[in-house]
Amino acid sequence: MGALAAGAMLFPWLTACTPEKQKDAAGGKARLGIIGTGSRGRFHLANLLEDDLVQVVAICDDYRPHLDEAAAMCPGARLYSDYHALLEDSEVDGVVICTPLSMHSQMTIDSFAAGKHVFCEKALAWSVQQLTDMYSAWKASGKVLMVGQQRLYDPKYVKAMELVAGGAIGQVVGIRNYWYRNNDWRRPVDDPSQERRINWRLYQQYSRGLMAELACHQLQNGSWAMGGLRPDYVSGTGSIMFYKDGREVFDNVAAIYQYPNGVHMTFDSIIANKHFAMGEQILGSEGTIDLVRGVMYSEQPRRRAGLRQMLEQIEQGILSNAAFAGSSWVTEAPGTDKGIRFVDNVSVVDGASSVGFSGDGSVELMHAYALAVITGVQPAEIVEEACWSTLLALLGDEATRTASRIDIPKDLFE
Ligand SMILES: NC(=O)c1ccc[n+]([C@@H]2O[C@H](COP(=O)([O-])OP(=O)(O)OC[C@H]3O[C@@H](n4cnc5c(N)ncnc54)[C@H](O)[C@@H]3O)[C@@H](O)[C@H]2O)c1
C-alpha cells in the first residue's frame, strides 16, 4: 500500500491508501456481506479473510452449492439465499457484489437504499440506462462505491502510468489492447436446468460478452494513459465464428475507439487461438510501455540511461516532467531494445484463460474498500473511472453487434 500511496499525487483514487487513511482506520473493522459466492465471490472471500481490517459477517447466494462452498470457508458468517434479507442485516456495513452483470445495477441501488456501502464487480452494468441509474443512486446515497477495476490499484499499472504521465514515452500516440484465449468460456453443468445460471456469460440476457468481461479492464488503460481524455466514438465488428454451440455472445470482436486528438485505442479478442495471449501496450512517440509484462522500451535504445534515471526518480517520489528530446526513428522491423523492467516479480501465465502476476491489484483494491468503509471516505474519481470503462465496454459491444460506429456521450457522469 505504501507504493500505491506514492501514486496518490497523480491518481486521486489512491488517496484511499495513504498512511493517514490507514491510521484513521486502525483498530476498525469493515463488516462485509458478500452477494454472489461463485468464482469471483469466493476469490474475494479468500482474500478478505486474510485482511485484518475485514470481518465477513454474511454471505448470500441463491444457488445452494455455491453458498455451501463459501460457508465452508467462513463458518462464522450468516447465510442468506435472498440478498434483500442480507441487506436488512444491521451488522453489515458494506456489501461485495459478485453476481452476473445483469444484476449489478439493481443490487447496488437496493444496497444504497438499505444504507450499505458497495463494492461491485466490473463491468458495472448491463446497459447504459442501468449504469446512469447506478451513478445517480450512488450520488444521492452519501455512501462509498468501489468497483472491481483492479488495475487502478495494481502497483505495476500505477508505476507504468506514472511513467506515462512523467513523459517517459513522449506523447501517447496509440493504445493497443488484445486478449486471446483458446477456451470456449463454458463451465460444466451437471443439471441442464442450471445451464443459463452457470453459463450466464454466454447469454445476452445477462451478459455483454467479451466487451464487458474482458475489454472493460483493458479499456481502463486508455482513459488512464490519455489523462482522462475520452473517445468521441467507437467502431466495431464481431461474430460467432468457431463455438457454434447455442451461445449468443461473440467469440471474436474488434473495436476501435477514436479520441478527439486523433489517437485511437484498439481492443481485439479471439477465444479460439491463444498464441499471443494478452497484450496491453501504451505507444508513445519516444517509447512503449508493455503493461502486462512491466517493461518499458525506448524508440532509441541508447537513451536507456535517461529512462533508468526517470525510473529512479519515480522510486524516490521525484517525478520529472522532462520528455526526452530529439526525433524518433521509424522502422518496419520490430524494435531491438531489450527494454527496462520497471517492476519485479511479474509472472505471465501461459494459460488458456488469464495472465497471472504475483498480484493483480485485487487485494489492494479490496483493502482500499475496507479502509473506505471504516472511514466512510469515498476514494475520489474511481467511480467516474469505472463508469467510463463500463460505458466504453457497453458501447463497444453495441458497435461490434451492429458493425457500426457509435458516438460516445461525454456528459453522463458529472
Ligand atoms: N475483476 C475481475 O478480474 C473479475 C474476474 C472474474 C469475474 N469478475 C466479475 O464478477 C462477476 C461474477 O463473475 P463470476 O465468474 O464469479 O460468476 P459466477 O457465475 O461464478 O458467480 C455468480 C454467482 O452469483 C450467484 N447469483 C446469481 N443470481 C443471484 C441472486 N439473485 N442472489 C444471489 N446470488 C446470485 C450465482 O449463483 C453465482 O454463484 C461478473 O460481473 C464478472 O465480470 C470480475
Give how far the C-alpha of residue 18 lies from the chain's centroid of Cα atoms, to the nearest Å: 21
Query: Which residues on adjacent β-strands are paired with residue 338?
Result: none
> Distance between CA atoms of 201 and 172, rounded to whole angstroms?
34
β-pairing, 252-258 vs 264-270, is: antiparallel
Q: Which of 394, 414, 363, 381 is nearest to 124 (CA)?
A: 394
Look at residue 323 in the predicted model and tell me its pLDDT: 47
Q: Which of 19, 22, 25 is nearest to 6 (CA)?
A: 19
> Distance between CA atoms of 194 and 205, rounded to whole angstroms?
15
Cβ proximity of 318 and 7 under 8 Å? no
Is the same domain home to 194 and 328? yes
Is the same domain home to 189 and 280? yes
Domain harbouring 35, CATH code = 3.40.50.720
Is the same domain home to 174 and 307? yes
Q: Name the DSSP class of 266.
A: E
> Distance between CA atoms of 268 and 237, rounded to whole angstroms?
10
Residues with CB under 6 Å of ligand 1 are 35-41, 60-63, 66, 83, 98-101, 103, 121-122, 148, 150, 197, 200, 213
Amino acid found at 119: F
Is the same domain home to 159 and 271? yes
Is the same domain home to 113 and 41? yes
How many C-beta atoms surround the C-beta of residue 102 within 10 A? 18
> Distance between CA atoms of 372 and 367, rounded to whole angstroms?
9
Q: For residue 409, what are the CA distances in angstroms to 70, 301, 412?
A: 40, 41, 7
What SS3 class is residue 281?
strand
Q: Distance from the CA of 224 to the center of ligand 1, in angstroms?
A: 26
The answer to whether position 181 is within a domain reads yes
Q: What is the pTM of this model?
A: 0.91
Q: Which of 108, 81, 82 is nearest to 96 (CA)?
A: 108
The answer to whether position 414 is within a domain reads no
Q: Distance from the CA of 277 to the center of ligand 1, in angstroms?
A: 24
DSSP string covering 19-54: HHHHHHHTT--EEEEEE--SHHHHHHHHHHTT-TTE
Cβ proximity of 119 and 96 under 8 Å? yes
Name which residue sits closest to atom 11 of ligand 1, judged by CA: 98
Crossing angle between the packed helical segments 101-113 and 128-141, to the nearest 10 degrees: 20
The answer to whether position 14 is within a domain reads yes
Instruction: Quote the domain boundaries for residue 235.
Output: 155-358+389-407
Q: Distance from the CA of 122 to the center of ligand 1, in angstroms?
A: 10
Look at residue 328 in the predicted model and tell me its pLDDT: 52
Sorted by sequence, the CB contacts under 8 Å of residue 79 that are 6+ apart come out as: 58, 59, 60, 67, 71
Q: Distance from the CA of 322 to the center of ligand 1, in angstroms?
A: 44
Cβ proximity of 120 and 308 under 8 Å? no
Mutate to test the pocket of ligand 1, among 39, 60, 99 (most ligand atoms within 8 A of CB): 99
Q: Which of 103, 95, 41 is nearest to 66 (CA)?
A: 41
Q: Distance from the CA of 150 to the center of ligand 1, in angstroms?
A: 16
Domains of the chain: total: 2
> Distance between CA atoms of 177 and 282, rounded to whole angstroms?
9
Along the 414 residues of the chain, how does pLDDT read in single tens digits? Answer: 767 777 788 899 998 777 787 888 888 999 999 999 999 999 999 999 999 999 999 999 999 999 999 999 999 999 999 999 999 999 999 999 999 999 999 999 999 999 999 999 999 999 999 999 999 999 999 999 999 999 999 888 999 999 999 999 999 999 999 999 999 999 999 999 999 999 999 999 999 999 999 999 999 999 899 998 999 999 999 999 999 999 999 999 999 999 999 999 999 999 999 999 999 999 999 999 999 888 999 998 655 666 777 777 777 766 555 444 444 544 467 778 888 888 776 655 543 333 444 578 899 999 999 999 999 999 999 999 999 999 999 999 999 999 999 999 999 998
Is the same domain home to 12 and 117? yes
Is the same domain home to 220 and 317? yes
Q: Distance from the CA of 298 to the center of ligand 1, in angstroms?
A: 41
Is the same domain home to 367 and 319? no
The answer to whether position 384 is within a domain reads no
The answer to whether position 236 is within a domain reads yes
The answer to whether position 217 is within a domain reads yes
Name which residue sits closest to atom 39 of ligand 1, judged by CA: 38
Is the same domain home to 353 and 369? no
Q: For residue 201, what are the CA distances in angstroms to 103, 106, 205, 260?
A: 12, 18, 9, 33
Is the same domain home to 124 and 164? no
Q: Which of 152, 192, 157, 156 is nearest to 381 (CA)?
A: 152
Mutate to test the pocket of ligand 1, among 39, 191, 366 (most ligand atoms within 8 A of CB): 39
Q: Which of 214, 157, 56 is nearest to 361 (CA)?
A: 157
Look at residue 357 in the predicted model and tell me its pLDDT: 44
